């Protein structure tokens, strides 16, 4: 029952964020949508922002479960681009909230996890200092986050397949070269 209620709350939030900005969604909106009490909501989530982060985390967890680190990065980027296309309004509502900096940090953390997997795959057998590793991952993490945010803001967006292909080429070839340029003699 508890997991079903949690899922119902998350689904209610997903419906609400499609309709209005994050800052205008209230606990009252969610509990009325789910036909639960406020106490039940607070049993599962600290507040609306905690719920928003959990919904995002769940979506990204589902995407990353389908992806192995040595698989085609273009496919992962395409999957992310399609999700962004499908949920553009919701994502815009998140980015336009008073917690937009927190949403950006959260997205960057998710990209960091994925990029660490790619780094491990591309650096196999090479020694790269922790400092260089962090710099390389941060560079690509912020680049991808920035490109994603810009893409969401544009009215006349680039085709998701084309964007995923171009980003994949930049990401894999650029990171591979950065690893090669910074690795110690192996």
Rounded to 5 degrees, what angle do the CA atoms 21, 24, 25 make? 90
- The predicted pLDDT at position 129 comes to 93
Q: One digit per residue, pLDDT tens: the chain, 186 residues?
A: 589 999 999 999 999 999 998 899 999 999 999 999 999 999 999 999 899 989 988 877 777 676 665 556 777 777 777 777 788 788 888 877 887 787 788 777 778 877 888 888 888 888 999 999 999 999 988 888 888 888 877 767 778 778 888 888 888 888 888 998 998 765
- The predicted pLDDT at position 70 comes to 55
Residues of the chain with CATH 1.10.10.60: 2-44
- The predicted pLDDT at position 67 comes to 62
Element housing 120 (H / E): helix 100-122
- Number of H helices and E strands in the chain, helices first, is 9, 0
When the candidates are 3.20.20.140, 3.90.1150.10, 1.10.10.60, 3.40.50.300, the CATH number that belongs to 2-44 is 1.10.10.60
């Amino acid at each position: 029952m508890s997991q079903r209620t949690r899922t119902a709350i998350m689904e209610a939030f997903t419906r609400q964020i499609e309709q209005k900005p994050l800052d205008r969604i209230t606990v009252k909106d969610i509990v009325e949508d789910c036909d639960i009490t406020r106490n039940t909501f607070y049993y599962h989530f600290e507040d609306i922002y905690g719920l928003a982060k959990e919904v995002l985390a769940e979506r990204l967890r589902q995407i990353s479960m389908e992806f192995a680190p040595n698989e085609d990065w273009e496919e992962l980027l395409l999957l992310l681009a399609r999700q962004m296309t499908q949920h553009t309004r919701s994502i815009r509502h998140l980015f336009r909230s008073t917690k937009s900096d927190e949403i950006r940090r959260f997205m960057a953390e998710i990209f960091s996890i994925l990029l660490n997997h790619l780094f491990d795959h591309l650096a196999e057998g090479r020694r790269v200092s922790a400092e260089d590793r962090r710099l390389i991952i941060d560079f690509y993490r912020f680049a991808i986050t920035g490109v994603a945010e810009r893409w969401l803001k544009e009215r006349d967006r680039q085709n998701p397949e084309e964007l995923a292909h171009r980003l994949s080429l930049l990401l894999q070839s650029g990171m591979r070269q950065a690893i090669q340029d910074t690795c110690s003699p192996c």
